[in-house]
Amino acid sequence: MIEAHELTKTFSDKKRGVITAVDRVSFTCRPGQIYGLLGANGAGKTTTLRLVATLLQPTSGRATVAGFDVVRDAQSVRANVGFLAASTALYGRLTAREMITYFGRLNGMTDAAIKARIKQLSAELDMDEFLDRRCDKFSTGMKQKTSIARTLIHDPAVMVFDEPTLGLDVMTARAIVKFVRDCRDRGKTVIYSTHIMSEVEKLCDTVGIIHGGRLVAEGTLPELRARFGEQDMEEVFVKAVGGEAAVLAALKN
């Protein structure tokens, strides 16, 4: 389970002073559930996920992942979390298999366990064709699948996806969406950040709409549609953040 309570993160900027990237955000994500974090670029989605995954420390507030505090028990949190961002940053000279193996060893896995897990992930992500090719020869979709496999090699209980389909072709994006859904169906705790409304509708059990660093609305899709009187999730989102002018102002900032 992921539990966040009043999470806040501020940064200092010489020109703009103190910037509040995440402002008292609270939410809960349970096993067997996909919690969607929906927001425009710069809304605070990525910063929130980095706080949960211990890549950043909160200025105030707290969060626990799998029962471990993200500040006091950061190492235990990392052992239970797989964090996937849109940028893959693979080492080009390694093959996909070598890259995944390296991360398995970093997580203390035996070679036998790594081999079995690679076989499973390769089948699920349709990687057999390029598993032993060098990463510098990959398409964007191949890179993202390899990045997913290395992130999940240790089979973490909690999975954090930060816009994983960004820049992918339709078929690769569909495959990744299916994989995320399968993770939920296996009882994983999944938090999924996106600004793509169709992905929200396909995947998310609960949605938190974030704007200006604040969680401005939260609920299931039926609850949000009823609250804002709209069936189209794009219209729900626009109403939740205060209208089109608010969205455009946030994008400019």
Provide the pLDDT for residue 35: 96
Provide the pLDDT for residue 176: 84
Tokens 């939260």, residue located = 218
State yes or no: pLDDT of 65 exceeds 90: yes
Q: How confident is the model at residue 23 (pLDDT cuts 50, 70, 90)?
A: very high
State yes or no: pLDDT of 171 exceeds 60: yes
Provide the pLDDT for residue 163: 87
Q: Which residue has the higher pLDDT, 253 or 240?
A: 240
State yes or no: pLDDT of 250 exceeds 80: no
Q: How confident is the model at residue 141 (pLDDT cuts 50, 70, 90)?
A: confident
Provide the pLDDT for residue 140: 85
State yes or no: pLDDT of 31 exceeds 80: yes
State yes or no: pLDDT of 251 exceeds 80: no
State yes or no: pLDDT of 88 exceeds 80: no
State yes or no: pLDDT of 60 exceeds 80: yes
Q: What is the DSSP string of the chain?
A: -EEEEEEEEEEEETTTEEEEEEEEEEEEE-TTEEEEEE--TTSSHHHHHHHHTTSS--SEEEEEETTEETTTTHHHHHHHEEEE-S-----TTSBHHHHHHHHHHHTT--HHHHHHHHHHHHHHHT-TTTTTSBGGG--HHHHHHHHHHHHSTT--SEEEEESTTTT--HHHHHHHHHHHHHHHHTT-EEEEEES-HHHHHHH-SEEEEEETTEEEEEE-HHHHHHHHT-SSHHHHHHHHTTSHHHHHHHHH-
Q: How confident is the model at residue 16 (pLDDT cuts 50, 70, 90)?
A: confident
What fold characterizes domain 2-89+158-252?
Rossmann fold (3.40.50)
State yes or no: pLDDT of 58 exceeds 90: yes
How many CB atoms lie under 10 A from the CB of residue 224? 23
Q: In whole angstroms, how far apart are CA 179 and each of 44, 161, 183?
A: 25, 11, 6
Parse the chain into domains and list their residue ranges. 2-89+158-252
State yes or no: pLDDT of 246 exceeds 70: no
% of residues, the chain, pLDDT over 90: 62
State yes or no: pLDDT of 248 exceeds 60: no
**135 with 143: CB under 8 angstroms?**
yes
Tokens 């996920």, residue located = 49
Q: How confident is the model at residue 166 (pLDDT cuts 50, 70, 90)?
A: confident
Q: How confident is the model at residue 13 (pLDDT cuts 50, 70, 90)?
A: confident
Entry field: residues in the chain: 253
Residues 6+ away with beta carbon under 8 Å from 200: 36, 38, 194, 207, 221, 233
State yes or no: pLDDT of 231 exceeds 80: yes
Report, as an integer, the average pLDDT of 57-70.
94
Report, as an integer, the average pLDDT of 31-44.
90
Report, as an integer, the average pLDDT of 128-148.
91
Token reading at 147: 């990045």
How many CB atoms lie under 10 A from the CB of residue 17? 9
State yes or no: pLDDT of 247 exceeds 60: no
Is beta strand 2-13 parallel, antiparallel or unpaired with respect to 17-29? Answer: antiparallel
